[in-house]
Amino acid sequence: MGKMGRIRKQVLDVHPDFDVVAVCDINENVATEFSKIYFSSKWEDILSYEFDAVIICTYNDVSPDIVCSALDRGYHVFCGKPPGRSVKDTRRMIAAEIAARSRVLQFGFNHRFHYAIMEAKAIVDSGRYGRILWSRGVYGKAGGLHFQKNWRTDKSLSGGGILLDQGIHMVDLMRYFLGDFVDIKSFVEQCYWKGVDIEDNAFALMKTSDGKVAMIHSSATQWKHKFSLDLFMEDGYLCVNGILSSTRSYGEESITFAKKQFEDEAKAFGRPREETIYFDTDDSWRLEIDEFYDCIMGQKEQPLSNSTDALKVMELIERIYIAGDNN
């Protein structure tokens, strides 16, 4: 019941078909905030309580154990990203999902549910601008005063640094738009934050079997927070700039798109006529839970952010780390 636990609970509280009946946190003071709800500081005890679904918002080292135990007991499971600390963790959760058969396992890749990303996907899938040629993505934050003492910089708890913690969203989106990558080159660096055993910057080039190239920079030294995703296609392009968050530090969320125009079509060559749409609301948390409910009720076959996608993005992350170690 930390930051993400509270965000998830707020969404569940306004959903007409979910009732939160139990909460768990290692901080027992949390119990006073939810006095009318069953509380335990041990997740093993919580799983003995009677309910239908579990929402997991824990450290990366703990989440696989809870996922597997919950599925084994017959519960539906929604787990925040990343799906464990490693590919091994993800595969263990998938094995539990297969054994649980009809139980739903969904992972929290909420960026797929941002309105600018959904608009971008609709434009790409429409074929308006032809096939994607290449993509470029930057996702960075400043780290902060307590970065070196944060649990995310303890590799035994997190499994990795800024790439696994935040950059995983960009890697997931690149795969979402471009498909599977077969060739990866990368640099995984400690540029500024010393005395920790994780990276603060990751630079990667990834190529698909049909020649599409994605460039990614994930950073904990982006002193001005930044999210940008550019997709350049045969006949035009689109750029998502900014992503709405609780801090609003990544700026306005918008998508800009345009048809390519050469000098025979435009007087200002290299400056095509653009259209920009701005989005003022972040409903991604709600839309994720709506989809979780639809899958539980059989109204949808599987989540948009399912275990197959989770495994493939974790495999990409692992390959970026391995390629970075070889440089």
Residue 326 in any domain: the answer is no
Cβ atoms of 256 and 238 closer than 8 Å: yes
155 shares its domain with 276: yes
**SS3 state of residue 220:** coil
Cβ atoms of 184 and 323 closer than 8 Å: yes
Residue 305 in any domain: the answer is no
Domain of residue 70: give its range.
3-109
For 262-291, how does the pLDDT look when each residue is reduced to its tens digit (9 = 90+)?
888 777 788 899 999 999 999 999 999 999
Q: Which amino acid is at 279?
A: F
- The answer on pLDDT for 36 being more than 90 is no
100 shares its domain with 120: no
Residue 322 in any domain: the answer is no
94 shares its domain with 164: no
126 shares its domain with 66: no
pLDDT of residue 263: 82
Residue 83: closest CA among 98, 66, 99, 100: 66
Cβ atoms of 18 and 3 closer than 8 Å: no
Angle subtended by helix axes 168-178 and 115-126, to nearest 10: 20
Q: Which tokens hold the place of 25?
A: 């946190």
Cα–Cα distance, 162 to 220 (Å, whole number): 6
- Note the pTM of the prediction, 2 decimals: 0.95
71 shares its domain with 178: no
Distances in Å between the Cα of 255 and the Cα atoms of 30, 115, 117, 227, 277 are 40, 9, 8, 12, 5
The DSSP 8-state label assigned to residue 65 in this structure reads H
Q: How many domains does the chain have?
A: 2
Give the pLDDT band (50/70/90) at residue 168. Answer: very high
Backbone φ/ψ region at 21: left (φ over 0), alpha (ψ -120 to 50), beta: alpha
Give CA 203 to chain center in angstroms.
18
Higher-pLDDT residue of 195 and 92 is 92
Q: Find all residues with CB under 8 Å of 74, minimum gap 6, and list them.
A: 100, 103
Half-sphere exposure of 113 (CA within 13 A, CB side): 19
Cβ atoms of 69 and 45 closer than 8 Å: no
Neighbours of 153 (CB within 10 A): 23
178 shares its domain with 219: yes
Q: At which of 79, 109, 139 does a domain end?
A: 109
User: CATH number, domain at 147?
Assistant: 3.30.360.10
- The answer on pLDDT for 190 being more than 90 is yes
Residue 304 in any domain: the answer is no
- The answer on pLDDT for 326 being more than 80 is no
pLDDT of residue 269: 84
pLDDT of residue 104: 97
Q: Which tokens hold the place of 233?
A: 């296609």
- The answer on pLDDT for 116 being more than 80 is yes
Neighbours of 84 (CB within 10 A): 25
Cα–Cα distance, 67 to 303 (Å, whole number): 16
Percent of the chain with pLDDT over 90: 91
Average pLDDT, the chain: 95
Over range 6-25, report the average pLDDT.
Answer: 96
133 shares its domain with 35: no
User: CATH number, domain at 32?
Assistant: 3.40.50.720
192 shares its domain with 212: yes
pLDDT of residue 195: 87
Q: Give 3-state DSSP helix, strand, coil % of the chain, rounded to 5.
A: 35, 25, 40
132 shares its domain with 64: no
88 shares its domain with 183: no
165 shares its domain with 77: no
Over range 182-209, report the average pLDDT.
Answer: 96
Residue 56: closest CA among 45, 46, 47, 67: 67
Over range 77-96, report the average pLDDT.
Answer: 98
pLDDT of residue 161: 97
Give CA 105 to chain center in angstroms.
15
pLDDT of residue 265: 79
- The answer on pLDDT for 325 being more than 90 is no
**SS3 state of residue 55:** strand
Over range 229-257, report the average pLDDT.
Answer: 96
Q: At which of 72, 94, 109 does a domain end?
A: 109
Residue 200 in any domain: the answer is yes
Distances in Å between the Cα of 112 and the Cα atoms of 54, 85, 221, 285, 288 are 21, 21, 24, 10, 9
Over range 3-21, report the average pLDDT.
Answer: 96
With tokens 């409903």, the residue in question is 283
Residue 318 in any domain: the answer is no
Over range 36-50, report the average pLDDT.
Answer: 93
* Helix extents (H) in 141-215: 155-158, 162, 168-178
Residue 290 in any domain: the answer is no
Cα–Cα distance, 204 to 218 (Å, whole number): 9
Residue 262 in any domain: the answer is yes
Distances in Å between the Cα of 216 and the Cα atoms of 69, 108, 140, 250, 289 are 35, 21, 11, 17, 28
With tokens 């390629």, the residue in question is 323
Q: At which of 74, 109, 144 does a domain end?
A: 109
DSSP per residue, 136-162: EEEEE----TTGGGSGGG-HHHHSSSH
141 shares its domain with 170: yes
